[in-house]
Structure 1
Amino acid sequence: MKLIILGAGEVGRELLKRLQKEWNIVVIDQDEEKLKKIVEILDSDSMNRVLLLQGDGTSKLMLKKAGIEEATAFTACTGDDEANIEACRIAKEFDVPTIYAVSNSTEHDHLYEREGINYINKAVATASLLERQIESGIVVPTNVGLGQGEIIEVNVMPTSIIAGYPVGKFSSRRWRIVAIFRGDKLILPKPRTVVKPGDRVLIVGDPKILKYIAGLIKSGEPQFPLQFGIEEVIFLPENREEVIKDGKFFYENTKVQKLSIYFCKEIEKTKLKLFNNSEKGNIKKKKLKLCEKEFFNEIKGENFGLIVMPDKYKEFPLNFGIKTFPVLVAEETLSPVLVARGTTPVERILVPVSGSFSSLRALEAGIELSLMLKASLSALYVAPSENDTKANQLREKVTKLSYMYKTPIEFVKRVGNPIREFSKESKKYDLAVIGARKGRKVNWFSPYPPYFMLHKAKCSSILICVGE
């Protein structure tokens, strides 16, 4: 994600200080002394991700030099409203997805509104925050309502992951939709309340993850796996090179911010050093004595971006109603669990679809991954018979998602046993993404296909569980 900040004053510096760990940032200012102050607040990890440019931020040439064509967000926060408005106008010409400005005077607010520029008036924002604190008698620790804390308001775009779905379908311990503004109407949502494009939703949650959720909801830009968590976890009960290989691939090619490696047996240092070359850093390593039991206690009650584990757990217990270790972990954390089979890098992705909410959620994750990894994507439907009519309905849904995300999705139909046909088809792919519903009972007489698919796949596979 790339952010361009025009203005290296107090607001610009504070914004950079908060975002430098996650964003590639360019700061533009004409004042050399202000740019020098920026250098003083950079940490060692951010040095390579922050570019300082001295010059006129209202110049198209300067903005092109800053990389305006690739920018995810643009913020104008100089003390000159005229310069802020002109710079934002140019940013709009380059179709920057997110544009904000700081208004220095209430007398100039109408100028921002006339140009259709999102802005925050410094005086109004400060007074509003003080008003809430004085009237409530409580000092709020975060700048609530200004995108800097535990509550955010986001506009729902047609491509948003939540558009068209009921609120109750989103199960995360880290964020929750608490209110919907539809025009002038305030809706306190129930689990069945459907979110519509154009709605403004109020979300509460962990500040570390809210900004990514906001980006995903607003623009549909791939953020995988940040809607689940910022940390990747690799579990190594034994030395398995395919786990290291797949774990490293997803760590380097997705949006995860941190990595933790849990191992039960000593691992060759050369293998762990493979991760040290990554630009992300932030790697934690821990040896476990009780292996699976201790690992489960470590992750219990938490959310992660991705949990990677080996393909050593067989599906046999599922026949007797006993869930396997990968399934237990996926249900407990509601985090994506990758069973690593060493089939990275990923060029072809397969998602089995049945029409259930969980399978369509998996398809959306597959779409994100295909966009991020520049991989082809196929949706597989296994019909019980040749005369099945459900295939056409699913094909339409897949076509709509393909159009919405502007990415091709091949629809593949097979006839027969869904587990067996999926297993055969998965030989042609590098990654499968499987959706499941938490809490489903399994046994020999009533097999739940997603859990069996996870174990029967011939490629590395991600299981994504949605709430009950």
Structure 2
Amino acid sequence: MDRPFVILCGLGYFEVKLLEAVSQLYPVVAIDIDPIKINSLKPQFEDCEFLHADASSILTWKKLDLKNLVAVITTFTDSDINLEVCRIIRLNFHSDKPIIVLSYSEDRQEEFKQYNAKIIKPIDMAIEAVIGRLQRNYSKAINIGLGQSEIIEVSVLSKSHITDKKLSKLKAKSWHVAAIYRDDQLIIPNGDSVIKINDKVILVGNPRTLENISNILLKGIPQFPLQYGQECIALENSPKSIINETMYLSENLSAKFTLVSYKFPLADRLNHPKLSTPDTIVDKLKDIFTLKEDVGLYIFPEFGDFLNLKLKSIFKNCTKPFLIAKGAYPYKGIIAVMNSFDMLGVLETTIELSKIFNVEYRVLLNVMPDSLSTLSEKIQIRKAAALVRDFESVYKTKINFKTQVKNPVVGTIEFTKHFPNHLVVLNYKKSSKISFLKPHIAYLIVKKIKNSALAVPL
């Protein structure tokens, strides 16, 4: 042809419909071995060229002038024929034009990839269309991108820690909000954008993570730590064993758990359905942070080393939530320490964990005497009280909120003594340094309390 055209190999019922659509964009050369079918279609598609031939034969392709070829679409149910078409195009004619394969089976996928062929599965598309009709609030993109559910659209139906919060505060690593639809308007999100109930959002990211995020947006189901990553890595240290508390956590959190040994091999292999114990030994503490990519939570023992250098290293190098397991379990409650960098984040994480472990939660704020408080500190006090009131309104419950005039570290230590086996939750600004001259509140609290503590670096 003397103008751009598309080659369509195979003319079944679906492919005839495809021919109708493609011929609106480009002239089409259609190849099929059934002469009756070809003769019946010629009157309907006068601008298309039909070839009665075997698409898997190189002789057929030698009859064609491929100079203005735009793309090849091959649609046979036999994968061998589709592969032969791909091989001829790439190896015999050295064409780099797009090859689109309509595949009706799961086999030979890797072989198609070597020819850089784009695979589309009509059956999957049909199933997704049906599910989309039945479940209008959630759909996956299967014919764009990788087609592996790394792009989804979901309706926001439930209040959660993700809604009504600036996207920049979510600290999402393995997923992002690509678009927000609100009141029939498209919003291109930035760090200041927020997701609201009744929005539709387009999410991109790790497919497993997106499935968990969609559950949060649809149902408000607590998913910690899956919004940060799919795996939990626990570092076992024989003198301060965390195996039992790790097993307790694995029975409550929806994540994959891996137990890694520190310096020495594990004394015994564990047989636990949710706890993997590979023969992995970490010699340097910082190596654990590069062990796996999709980590949502680290679990460490209370090392108790000289000058607490290991705990300082964790605060400095960890970029995901980490739990210092001190054996204070099963958790009877959760304590949110509002003397944190992000009070909203602490409160949200605390409420989420209280739902997961089905326990009560308390909120603690330590303040300076009014005469010694700076203006910014007074603003923080009012902000904390307002946040608690907002959450009481949203969740229709009375929050146990304690404000006490004490040093944040001393006050938290004294308060937690009355609530053993309560998990303490706080967060901190990762860039803040631990020094004698400027006390690091989160570090000092985690170091000195007897409770297990969850810290989230921001």
d(CA) in 1 for partners of 2:173 and 2:296?
13
Contact preservation (8 Å) 2:343, 2:384: no
**Which residue of the partner structure matches residue 327 of structure 1?**
315
**Which residue of the partner structure matches residue 409 of structure 2?**
419
**Which residue of the partner structure matches residue 264 of structure 1?**
263
Contact preservation (8 Å) 1:419, 1:453: yes
d(CA) in 1 for partners of 2:295 and 2:237?
19
**Which residue of the partner structure matches residue 184 of structure 2?**
184
Are residues 315 and 160 of structure 1, via their aligned partners in 2, closer, same or farther at CA, if it must alter by over 3 Å? Answer: farther
Matching residue's letter, 1:225: P
Contact preservation (8 Å) 2:262, 2:283: no
Structure with bigger helix share is 1
Flag structure 1 segments of 5+ consecutive residues without an equivalent.
Answer: 1-99, 133-139, 144-148
d(CA) in 2 for partners of 1:363 and 1:422?
16
**Which residue of the partner structure matches residue 219 of structure 2?**
219
TM-score normalised per structure 1: 0.62
1:160-198 Cα shifts (integer Å, max 9, x gaps): 222221111122321111221122221212212233332
SS at match of 2:214: helix
Query: How many angstroms does 1:398 deviate by?
Result: 1.6
Contact preservation (8 Å) 1:225, 1:254: yes
d(CA) in 2 for partners of 1:129 and 1:246?
40
d(CA) in 2 for partners of 1:443 and 1:355?
17
Pairing 1:441–2:410 present: no
Are residues 258 and 185 of structure 1, via their aligned partners in 2, closer, same or farther at CA, if it must alter by over 3 Å? Answer: same
**Which residue of the partner structure matches residue 255 of structure 1?**
254
d(CA) in 2 for partners of 1:415 and 1:447?
18
**Which residue of the partner structure matches residue 244 of structure 2?**
245
Identity %: 25
Query: How many angstroms does 1:249 deviate by?
Result: 0.8
SS at match of 1:203: strand
Query: How many angstroms does 1:337 deviate by?
Result: 0.6
**Which residue of the partner structure matches residue 97 of structure 1?**
none
d(CA) in 2 for partners of 1:372 and 1:378?
15
Are residues 200 and 313 of structure 1, via their aligned partners in 2, closer, same or farther at CA, if it must alter by over 3 Å? Answer: farther
Alignment of 1:42-191 (within 5 A): 102=130, 118=136, 140-142=145-147, 149-157=149-157, 159-191=159-191
Identify which of 322, 328, 338 aligns with 1:353.
Answer: 338
Contact preservation (8 Å) 2:157, 2:197: yes
Identify which of 347, 351, 371 aligns with 1:363.
Answer: 347
Query: How many angstroms does 1:381 deviate by?
Result: 0.3
d(CA) in 1 for partners of 2:260 and 2:294?
16
SS at match of 2:278: strand
Contact preservation (8 Å) 2:175, 2:210: yes
Instruction: Report the aligned-residue RMSD.
Output: 3.3
TM-score normalised per structure 2: 0.63
**Which residue of the partner structure matches residue 280 of structure 2?**
287
d(CA) in 2 for partners of 1:393 and 1:341?
32
Contact preservation (8 Å) 1:315, 1:452: no
User: Which has the higher Rg, Structure 1 or Structure 2?
Assistant: 2
Are residues 392 and 173 of structure 1, via their aligned partners in 2, closer, same or farther at CA, if it must alter by over 3 Å? Answer: closer
Query: How many angstroms does 1:456 deviate by?
Result: 2.0
**Which residue of the partner structure matches residue 384 of structure 2?**
394
Are residues 306 and 297 of structure 1, via their aligned partners in 2, closer, same or farther at CA, if it must alter by over 3 Å? Answer: closer
Contact preservation (8 Å) 2:265, 2:281: no
Query: How many angstroms does 1:436 deviate by?
Result: 1.5
Query: How many angstroms does 1:119 deviate by?
Result: 7.9
Query: How many angstroms does 1:248 deviate by?
Result: 1.1
Contact preservation (8 Å) 1:313, 1:324: no
SS at match of 2:193: coil
Query: How many angstroms does 1:397 deviate by?
Result: 1.4
d(CA) in 1 for partners of 2:395 and 2:349?
12
Flag structure 2 segments of 5+ consecutive residues without an equivalent.
Answer: 1-127
